[in-house]
Amino acid sequence: MTTKLPNQISGAEAIVHCLLAEGVNLIYGYPGGAIMPFYDELYKFQDQLKHVLVRHEQGAAHAAQGYARATGKVGVAVATSGPGATNLVTGIADAQIDSTPLVCITGQVGRHLLGSDAFQETDIIGISTPITKWNYQITKAAEIPYILAKAFYIARSGRPGPVLVDITKNAQFELFDFEYTPCDHVRSYLPEPQIDMECIHQAAALINEAKKPMIVYGQGVVLGNAEQELKTFIEKTTIPSAWTILGKSALPTAHKHNVGMVGMHGNYAPNVLTNECDVLIAIGMRFDDRVTGDLNTYAKQAKIIHFDIDKAEINKNVKVDVGVLGNCKHTLTALLPWVKENNHSQWQSSFDQLYQVEFKEVIDKEMNPAGPGISMAEVIEQINQATQSQAIVVTDVGQHQMIACRYAQETLPKSNITSGGLGTMGFALPSAIGAKMGAPEREVIAVIGDGGFQMNIQELGTIYQTQTAVKIVVLNNEHLGMVRQWQELFFDSRYASTVMTNPDFVTIAKGYYIPGKRVDQRADLKAAIEEMVAAKTPYFLEIKVENEENVFPMIPSGSSVSDIRLS
């Protein structure tokens, strides 16, 4: 629907109207000189467009990511020129590799100053080109409606991703006749390829003939809203199904055909049996190196079918026998009539048997540690119980991330938010703010290590100012845990710069008027987590865990998935 205003308006006001026309009601940002005209107009629209003042622009990008991941909508982040724009870069890069739809708007010096090294001038277009799906610099107010419409369309369509629009200060002041028409196509851009039914038939034939098929599903299922189609496909064919770290929650964790996580710290059975299956069906995943390990030994015995919306991913890392292009919601729908009902219970039992091996060697020991120290796994299990496995769990990066992804039980879609491809420490706290604002009816638990927590600890200020009821759990092992684990296993325990001397986190949280407590005894763990979950306000919980706990299973870097270690 076209929006047209009767009188000329400024470019700054036009930005606001464009956001409203796109259905945006919440943005994250930090004001500054080059974006100040926009903020001045935003002041007049506070009842329609809520602005969340973060404490650092990286927090704006991550909060917008959390909002996008929890809602499926486009997240919006705003910053000024120069350092404001460059502080967005890490979040933009994270969104690019994890296919998160963002529109980032940055202010820029006036058009007449471009290229003059003016105060707070930075070439953010040049900087962000490799890490955005598309970017553009606006130098005239009249460009604003068309470019922002295009930005939202590109960000949300096809394989989603971040878009950056840089707007010069003069363009924000200029007056023009405003008219806004949402974008529904871009010449030469094909966001969703037409489904090739011949490929569907080839895939179905391989699946129907398979004796030991295995599914690995990724975030493409979540992005395509294809959770129900995946579940129907799995239940019709009874194929054992594993997930990548970003695919988690596309299928309930407790589903009988869910066999766990693949990858470097994934479950034993799906990793080992990747190299024993006869047909590997990859759905909405990109064969990341953390999933495949050594490509020279990855699933060489199997016929491989790859469902993906992005043609560039087909045969990029792993040569496949059948590539099925399209949104997996549509391709799975097309596939379903052609696959036969089947019973792979004997093959499923192979996964069950190896799970028992992992349970004995790893899971039972982590859930029921022999020593007095609290393990990370038992913390996650207590969170499962207190939330009835219905929370959104937002994790940072490191050992706690792997443990949370392994042990968090999830029953609802969009329940797992983490930094997958970029592995960004500092992601969880601001991302949890965005997730809670996007899904206020759900409990949002941020699980963070003591290292990552301190990278964006200032966002406690955003939580206090907005009173966003995020529950923060810091698993404090006084180390950069994952790096320390590698140093122990591969660098003869030379703990170079991984021991953390930490402040009093609970006192810092209380400085931001966020209630909280510290737990260092197992006997206090259950009650503390229940108190945290019951709180109607933000809550901070520091849990002192074992200092030198390692995360297993583990595939050593560059090794075959078959070489997964249990200790």
Q: Which residues are the active-site residues?
A: 57, 119-120, 169, 482
DSSP state at residue 501? -
Residue 450 per-residue DSSP state: H
| Cα–Cα distance list, 386 to 23, 382, 383, 409, 529 (Å) | 35, 6, 5, 11, 7
Residue 203 vs residues 214, 298, 363: alpha-carbon distances, Å = 13, 20, 36
If phi > 0 it is left, if psi is from -120 to 50 it is alpha, else beta; for residue 443 that is beta
What's phi and psi for 541, nearest 5 deg?
A: -130, 115
233 and 203 Cβ atoms separated by less than 8 Å: no
Number of Cβ atoms within 10 Å of the Cβ of 472: 26
Q: What are phi and psi of 282, to 5 degrees?
A: -95, 125
Kindly provide the residue ranges of all beta strands, DSSP E only, lying in 244-343, ordered along the sequence: 258-261, 279-283, 303-308, 322-325
Residue 50 pairs with which residues in a beta bridge?
26
Please report, as a single letter, which amino acid is at residue 306: H
Helices vs. strands in the chain: H and E counts, helices first: 24, 22
81: closest CA among 120, 44, 55, 51? 120
Give CA separation, 191 vs 68, 162, 187, 503, in Å: 19, 14, 11, 48
User: Quick one: 188 exposed, middle or buried, by C-beta within 10 A (0-12, 13-18, 19+)?
Assistant: exposed
Residue 381 CB partners (closer than 8 Å, separation 6+)? 367, 407
Q: Where are any strands of DSSP class E within 271-419?
A: 279-283, 303-308, 322-325, 392-395, 416-417
CA angle 70, 76, 77 (to 5 degrees): 120
Strand partners, 499: 479
Q: Token match 């206020």: residue?
A: 440
- For residue 517, the surrounding DSSP H or E stretch is strand 516-519
Instruction: Sort strands 516-519 and 471-476 into parallel, antiparallel or unpaired.
Output: unpaired
Strand (E) or helix (H) holding 473: strand 471-476
**Residue of 443, 434, 439, 438 lying closest to 387 (CA atoms):** 443
Q: How far apart are CA 308 and CA 293, in angstroms?
A: 20
**102 contacts: CB under 8 Å, gap ≥ 6:** 61, 64, 65, 68, 74, 75, 76, 77, 91, 92, 95, 155, 161, 162, 163
Residue 318, phi then psi, degrees to nearest 5: -125, 130
